[in-house]
Amino acid sequence: MKEVVPTIKIRSSKDFYAALLFIALGAAVIWLSQNYPIGTAQRMGPGYFPTILGVLLAAIGMGVLGQAFTISRPPVARFALKPLSVRPWRDCR
């Protein structure tokens, strides 16, 4: 008998990559702020605020990651450089 393996499908690639960025930045902030004393909630140290921000950023990333697997969105369009280019010689006629 053939075993069925469930697959996970990313429904929104833009949300998926944004979530990975949020989680990576949050983890980096948490890691970098561990060199500072955190203190307590009543007497906060210099590492308290960056640690809380890193945790919140990673938590937002986890929420966006959940949406990437559940909510379908249109794919991201390709980035074109040609419409952004400045071509002054075209207007000289």
Contact 37, 45 (CB under 8 A): yes
pTM equals 0.69
Left (φ > 0), alpha (ψ -120 to 50) or beta: where does 39 sit?
A: left
Band of pLDDT at residue 35, cut at 50, 70 and 90: very high
**Three-state secondary structure string covering 23-37:** HHHHHHHHHHHHHCC
CA angle 58, 61, 62 (to 5 degrees): 90
Question: How many CB atoms sit inside 10 A of residue 6's CB?
Answer: 4
**Can you list the alpha helix ranges (DSSP code H) found in 36-87?**
48-70
Please give the residue that has the higher pLDDT: either 87 or 66: 66
Backbone angles phi, psi at 39, to 5 degrees: 80, -155
User: What is the mean predicted confidence (pLDDT) over 47-74?
Assistant: 91
Hey, is 39 helix, strand or coil?
strand
